[in-house]
C-alpha cells in the first residue's frame, strides 16, 4: 500500500497555520486515513472513494462542518517526501507541503 505511516506537512490557511499530520494506515485490506494537528487536535475528516494512481493517493473527504459537501484531496509520495492538497468548499485549496515521514 502506498504511503503507509505518519506524515508531517506544513499547512497555512486563514484558520490554521502550522504542522498537520496525515496518518496512512491499513485496516482489513483497505486504506485507513486519519488527520491530526500539532496541538493533538484531530480534525473531523472522513475519507472515502480512495484510489491509487501511480504514486498518488486520491479520493474524497467529508467534514462535519461541511454537511453535504465532498472535499477532493490528493497526496503524491515521491522519494521519501509527500505533497498534496484538499480543495475545501468555501475555504479554497489547502496545500499540504514539505511532507516528511515521521512515523
Mean pLDDT by 10 residues, the chain (103 residues): 95 88 95 91 90 97 88 95 93 92 94
For the chain, give every domain's residue range. Answer: 5-101
Contact 38, 19 (CB under 8 A): yes
CATH of domain 5-101: 2.40.128
Beta bridge partners of 5: 24
CB atoms within 10 A of CB 58: 16
Q: What is the pLDDT of residue 13?
A: 85
Nearest to 42 by CA among 22, 13, 17: 22
Q: What is the pLDDT of residue 21?
A: 95
Q: What is the pLDDT of residue 44?
A: 84
pTM above 0.95, yes or no: no
Terminal alpha carbon distance of the chain: 15
Amino acid at each position: 500500500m502506498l504511503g503507509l505511516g505518519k506524515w508531517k506537512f506544513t499547512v497555512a490557511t486563514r484558520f490554521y497555520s502550522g504542522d498537520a499530520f496525515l496518518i496512512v494506515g491499513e485496516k482489513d485490506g483497505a486504506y485507513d486515513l486519519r488527520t491530526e494537528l500539532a496541538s493533538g487536535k484531530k480534525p473531523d475528516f472522513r475519507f472515502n472513494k480512495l484510489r491509487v494512481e501511480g504514486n498518488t493517493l486520491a479520493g474524497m473527504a467529508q467534514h462535519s462542518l461541511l454537511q453535504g459537501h465532498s472535499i477532493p484531496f490528493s497526496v503524491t509520495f515521491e522519494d521519501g517526501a509527500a505533497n498534496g492538497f484538499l480543495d475545501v468548499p468555501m475555504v479554497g485549496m489547502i496545500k499540504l507541503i514539505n511532507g516528511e515521514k515521521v512515523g
